[in-house]
A and B are shown apart, each in its own frame.
Chain A
Amino acid sequence: MRNYLTAECYKTFRRKYFYIVLAVCLGLELVLLGCCWLTLSWGNPNVTFSSTAVLVPFLLGMGLCAPLITGDIVFSDQYKHNTLKNEVSYGVPRARIYLGKLAVTALVSVLAALAMLGLYLGGCWLLFPHAAGDGQTWALVGYCLAGAFPLWLAGLAVVNACYFLIRSNTIAAFTGVGILLLVSQIFQLLGLLIHPVFEVIRQFMPNVMVDSLANMAFQWNYVGLCWLSGLVWFAAATAIGLLAFRRKEIR
């Protein structure tokens, strides 16, 4: 496994894909910071560290869909290029292939998240005026990240399963987005029309929990609930993906 992970990491970090995506994301963040700084220099009194950093708790949903890209950086269309067939026919156990790529995708995602959060929060801290509420803002950001992390891992597991099981890259991406974003909407509709139990299930879906975190501020039992839900989703998605992958014929 260690060799497999080393190999996957080497492959991922040697290619330019990861760095290009990161550069684009960090560039967009700089543009956002720049625009906020510009309005500040035009005399907008509402731009402070608190008001800009507080964007993070409300954009946690982005972290849920980011695995679509980080998963592609690692998995990278191996069905089309037939390189997955090489790994399987070489004799590498399928569980090792699946879990190895899952682990490397998690690593890539965490690194990207650290870089993006670091740049944005650091930029906000340096560029914008401070006020008394800063400590509260940091606490809120910390709370939300603590709750969002397991949910992001859940999204990662779902997307990884989609990439492994669905041959067409486009459909895999759409299925991942569908599961992560659309199913909760459908459940909301069903909950209103058919039975309230759908609404109850909906409250435990990753995108719903991630969006509610900012409003549940400082209820640490909700963070506990996020960890529980996230780990259940992670385990279920990985189990389904792994079991289906083991039985799948790789042509």
Chain B
Amino acid sequence: MRAYLTAEWGKAVARPYYRIYLAVMAALAAALALIWWWTGREGMFQGSFGECLSLLIPFFSAGIYLAVIVADAVFSDQYKAGTLKNEVSYGLPRVRIYLGKLLTAAAAGLLLVFLTLLAYAVLCRLFIPAGPEDWQAVQTFLFRLLAALPLWLGALSLTMAAMFNIAHTVPMLAVVLVCLSGLGPVFRGLAGLGPDWLSALAEALYRLTLTAPMDLGAVSLWDPAYLLWCWGVGLLWSAGSTAVGLALFARRDIH
């Protein structure tokens, strides 16, 4: 497994795909920091460094979709290129292939998150003046980040499960995006109509979607119930989609 992980990691980060992705994310982070600095000069934005961090928190829900691209950087159309067949016929156990790629994708995603947020934080710290509420804002930022990580992992696991089992890219993306962004609105819509038991069920299912925890705007700092909710939902999706994806992949006929 260690050798497999080394191989997958080397393949993932050596290709231009991941490096371009990293560069684009860093550039976007820098651009946002620059916008705050520029509008601060004009006087329209009166915020401090801490507020710049807080303003990034609503963007965390975009991380769910960025996780899909991370999974693509690691899995990369192996059905189209026929390379998955090579790995399977070489004799590598299917569990190792699946979990190896999943762990590599998770590591690649974490590195991407770390470098992007580091770039943003450093640039903001350099260009934006510090304020009195900064330490509170930093804590809020780290707290919301800690809550977002399992949800991003859940999206990544779902995408990997879909990529291993649906050979065509666009239908695969359609399934993933419907699960990520379609289920929430559907459950919320169902919660509005019909009898009470349906509303309660729909409400409960809504709370289990990956986007629901991040829809909340203000959360009290270090609220353990919120962390538990996020980690519970994230791990549920990660474990569930990995179990289903692995089970289907193990029985799949790879032409």
**Could you tell me which A residues sit within 8 Å of B by CB distance?**
17, 21, 35, 38-39, 42, 44, 46, 68-69, 72, 77, 80-81, 168-171, 173-174, 190, 193-194
Give the shortest distance, in Å, between A169 (CB) and chain B (any CB).
4
A173 touches B173 (CB 8 A): yes
Task: List residues of chain A with CB within 8 A of the CB of B168.
Answer: 17, 77
**What are the interface flags for B195-206 relative to A under an 8 Å C-beta threshold, 1 for contact and 0 otherwise?**
100000000000
Task: List residues of chain B with CB within 8 A of the CB of A69.
Answer: 170-171, 174
A194 touches B194 (CB 8 A): no
Task: List residues of chain B with CB within 8 A of the CB of A190.
Answer: 35
Q: Name B174's closest neighbour in chain A (CB-CB).
A: A69
B170 touches A169 (CB 8 A): yes
Q: Which of B54-75 contact A (CB under 8 A)?
A: 65, 68-69, 72
Across the A-B interface, give the 4 residue pairs with the lowest CB-CB distance, nearest first.
A72-B170, A169-B169, A80-B80, A170-B72
A35 to B35: give the CA distance in the assembly, Å. 47
Q: Does B17 contact A (CB under 8 A)?
A: yes
**Could you tell me which B residues sit within 8 Å of A by CB distance?**
17, 35, 38-39, 44-45, 65, 68-69, 72, 77, 80-81, 168-171, 173-174, 190, 193-195
Give the shortest distance, in Å, between A124 (CB) and chain B (any CB).
16
A-B contact pairs, 7 of them (CB 8 A): A17-B168, A68-B170, A169-B169, A170-B69, A171-B72, A193-B35, A193-B39
A44 touches B170 (CB 8 A): no
A44 to B72: give the CA distance in the assembly, Å. 45
Task: List residues of chain A with CB within 8 A of the CB of B39.
Answer: 193-194
Task: List residues of chain B with CB within 8 A of the CB of A17.
Answer: 168
* A169 in contact with B193 given A68-B170, A72-B170, A193-B44 (CB within 8 Å): no
B169 touches A170 (CB 8 A): yes
* A44 in contact with B169 given A69-B174, A80-B77 (CB within 8 Å): no
A169 to B173: give the CA distance in the assembly, Å. 10
Cβ-neighbour of B194 out of A42, A72, A170, A174 (below 8 A): A42
Cβ-neighbour of A81 out of B72, B80, B195 (below 8 A): B80
B194 touches A39 (CB 8 A): yes
Q: Name A21's closest neighbour in chain B (CB-CB).
A: B171
A194 touches B170 (CB 8 A): no
Task: List residues of chain B with CB within 8 A of the CB of A81.
Answer: 80
A66 to B55: give the CA distance in the assembly, Å. 32
Q: Name A189's closest neighbour in chain B (CB-CB).
A: B35
B193 touches A44 (CB 8 A): yes
A14 to B105: give the CA distance in the assembly, Å. 37
* A168 in contact with B17 given A69-B170, A193-B39 (CB within 8 Å): yes
A72 to B190: give the CA distance in the assembly, Å. 31
Task: List residues of chain A with CB within 8 A of the CB of B173.
Answer: 170, 173
A35 to B77: give the CA distance in the assembly, Å. 37
* A39 in contact with B193 given A77-B169, A169-B77, A173-B169 (CB within 8 Å): yes
Task: List residues of chain A with CB within 8 A of the CB of B45.
Answer: 193
A69 to B172: give the CA distance in the assembly, Å. 11
B72 touches A80 (CB 8 A): no
A194 touches B35 (CB 8 A): yes
Q: B35, B68, B69, B193 — which one has the most chain A CB atoms within 10 A of its CB?
A: B193
Task: List residues of chain B with CB within 8 A of the CB of A21.
Answer: 171
Give the shortest distance, in Å, between A233 (CB) and chain B (any CB).
22
* A44 in contact with B69 given A72-B170, A169-B77 (CB within 8 Å): no
Q: B69, B169, B194 — which one has the most chain A CB atoms within 10 A of its CB?
A: B169
Task: List residues of chain A with CB within 8 A of the CB of B80.
Answer: 77, 80-81
Task: List residues of chain B with CB within 8 A of the CB of A169.
Answer: 77, 169-170
A173 touches B170 (CB 8 A): yes
A42 touches B195 (CB 8 A): yes
A101 to B81: give the CA distance in the assembly, Å. 24
Give the shortest distance, in Å, between B79 (CB) and chain A (any CB).
10
Task: List residues of chain B with CB within 8 A of the CB of A68.
Answer: 170
Task: List residues of chain B with CB within 8 A of the CB of A173.
Answer: 169-170, 173
Give the shortest distance, in Å, between A235 (CB) and chain B (any CB).
26
B174 touches A80 (CB 8 A): no
Give the shortest distance, in Å, between A111 (CB) and chain B (any CB).
18
Q: B35, B168, B170, B194 — which one has the most chain A CB atoms within 10 A of its CB?
A: B170
A42 to B17: give the CA distance in the assembly, Å. 53
A173 to B193: give the CA distance in the assembly, Å. 34
